[in-house]
Amino acid sequence: MTITEKILAAHAGKDRVEPGELINVRVDLVLANDITAPVAIREFEKIGVNRVYDPERVTLVPDHFVPNKDIKSAEQAKMLREFSRRHSLTNYFEVGRMGIEHCLLPEQGLVGPGDLVIGADSHTCTYGGIGAFSTGMGSTDIAAAMATGETWLKVPESIKFIYKGELPRWVSGKDLILLAIGKIGVDGALYRAMEFTGPVIENLSVDGRLTMANMAVEAGAKNGIVAPDEITRRYVEGRAKRPYVFYSSDPDARYVEVYEFDVTNMEPLVAFPHLPENVRPVSEAAEVKIDQSVIGSCTNGRIEDLREAATILRGKKVHRDVRLIIFPGTQEIYRQAMHEGLFDVFLDAGAAISTPTCGPCLGGHSGILAEGERCVATTNRNFVGRMGHTGSEVYLSNPAVAAASAILGRIGSPGEVE
What's the pLDDT band for 159 if we cut at 50, 70, 90?
very high
Q: DSSP labels for 40-72?
A: HHHHHHHHT-SS-S-TTTEEEE--SSTTT-SHH
| Amino acid symbol at 336 | Q
Buried b (16+ CB within 10 A) or exposed e, 379-415: bbbbeeebbbeeebbbbbbbbbbbbbbbbbbbbbbbe
Per residue in 177-195, pLDDT (tens digit) is 999 999 999 999 999 999 9
As a 3-state breakdown, the chain gives helix, strand, coil percent values, each rounded to 5, of 35, 20, 45
Please give the domain boundaries of the chain with CATH numbers for all domains.
3-260 (3.30.499.10), 269-416 (3.30.499.10)
pTM assigned to the model = 0.95
Computed over every residue of the chain, the mean pLDDT equals: 97
Helix 342-349 and helix 303-313, axial crossing angle in degrees, nearest 10: 50
Q: What is the largest CA-CA distance in the chain?
A: 61
Per residue in 163-172, pLDDT (tens digit) is 999 999 999 9
Nearest of 130, 132, 104 to residue 118 by alpha carbon: 132
Per residue in 252-295, pLDDT (tens digit) is 999 999 999 999 999 999 999 999 999 999 999 999 999 999 99
Contact 363, 346 (CB under 8 A): no
Rounded to the nearest 5°, which phi and psi values hold at 90?
A: -70, -35
Contact 227, 247 (CB under 8 A): yes
Rounded to the nearest 5°, which phi and psi values hold at 262?
A: -105, 115
What's the pLDDT band for 418 if we cut at 50, 70, 90?
confident
Contact 191, 155 (CB under 8 A): no
